[in-house]
């Protein structure tokens, strides 16, 4: 049972690693397997026909031809030991090719979003109330249909019995759903009597130990699959009495556009 869990973790780890690491893993395993079989061919002297000189490098490249089922024809196994190695390596090559092809296909078929969160959140007045705000933007040139936002507060608290637990509070938002996320979304949480952040001050914000977890989900209109993205805001990433700079800009011809480089830009409120 433990080995099955480890195999599952390995599968998810491979799916989550970057393409550079995935290719590096493939190259490492490919070279290692050929080095092992090349050494076995090398110690079985005279097992490969057509070889002018029995060297490890020549045996290594013969292993590459066998594993990849290339078979140029100039080299061939001529002993029982060599044929047994060729049989084992051919089976391993077919299995390895199928496994890496399946992993590559799984990685390509995974729906991934390019939803960007602002690196900071702010607390400033909005419609006469102190409000927690952060921004979300879709960096693709398509839309996320039916996007939903969930924001939760994770805070360490002590019960009446003196037990320390981490409590989770759902933060009510002014707008939790948007029919189409194609540009930007300013997420707003009014800090009123119903908010778990009620009575928070600038000093208590600095001394607090909590985290805000924001999760957005929706349907990618291009691939018709559900995508999601999440971001965590610690108390140190929340600015008191700041506001976000407007991302809408206008070029020389009068056309408006959104400058995503300004998603994290804020300014102090006087």
For domain 2-109, the CATH class is mainly alpha
Q: Beta strand 48-49 with 115-117: parallel, antiparallel or unpaired?
A: unpaired
Q: Beta strand 238-240 with 121-126: parallel, antiparallel or unpaired?
A: parallel
In sequence order, the β-bridge partners of residue 121 are 238
pLDDT tens, per residue, the chain with 270 residues: 445 555 557 888 888 888 899 999 999 999 999 999 999 999 987 888 888 888 899 899 999 999 988 877 788 888 899 999 999 999 998 898 889 999 988 888 777 778 899 999 999 999 889 999 999 998 888 889 999 999 999 988 878 888 888 889 999 999 999 999 888 899 999 999 989 998 888 888 888 888 999 999 999 888 888 889 999 999 899 999 999 998 888 777 878 778 888 899 999 987
| Residue whose token pair is 């952060």 | 134
The full set of domain ranges for the chain reads 2-109, 115-268
Length of the chain counted residue by residue: 270
The answer to whether the pTM exceeds 0.75 is no
Residues 45, 54 contacting (CB under 8 angstroms): yes
**CATH 2.60.40.1400 fits domain 115-268:** yes
């Amino acid at each position: 049972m433990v080995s099955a869990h480890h195999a599952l973790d390995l599968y998810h780890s491979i799916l989550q690693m970057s393409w550079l690491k995935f290719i590096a893993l493939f190259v490492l395993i490919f070279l290692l397997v050929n080095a092992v079989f090349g050494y076995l061919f090398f110690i079985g002297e005279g097992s490969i026909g057509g070889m002018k000189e029995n060297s490890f490098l020549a045996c290594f490249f013969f292993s590459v031809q066998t594993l990849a089922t290339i078979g140029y024809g100039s080299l061939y196994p001529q002993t029982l030991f060599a044929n047994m190695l060729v049989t084992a390596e051919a089976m391993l090559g077919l299995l390895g090719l199928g496994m890496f092809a399946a992993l590559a296909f799984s990685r390509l078929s995974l729906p991934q979003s390019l939803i960007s969160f602002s690196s900071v959140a702010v607390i400033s007045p909005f419609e006469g109330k102190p409000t927690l705000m952060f921004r979300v933007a879709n960096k693709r040139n398509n839309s996320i249909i039916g996007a939903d936002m969930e924001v939760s507060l994770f805070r360490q608290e002590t019960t009446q019995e003196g037990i320390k637990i981490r409590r989770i509070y759902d933060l009510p938002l002014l707008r939790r759903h948007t029919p189409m996320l194609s540009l930007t979304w300013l997420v707003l949480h009014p800090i009123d009597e119903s908010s778990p952040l009620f009575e928070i001050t600038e000093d208590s914000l600095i001394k607090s130990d909590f985290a805000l977890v924001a999760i957005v989900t929706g349907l990618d209109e291009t691939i018709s699959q559900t995508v999601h993205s999440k971001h965590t805001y610690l108390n140190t990433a929340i600015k008191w009495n700041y506001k976000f700079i407007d991302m809408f800009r206008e070029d020389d011809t009068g056309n408006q556009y959104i400058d995503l480089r300004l998603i994290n830009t804020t300014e102090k409120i006087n």
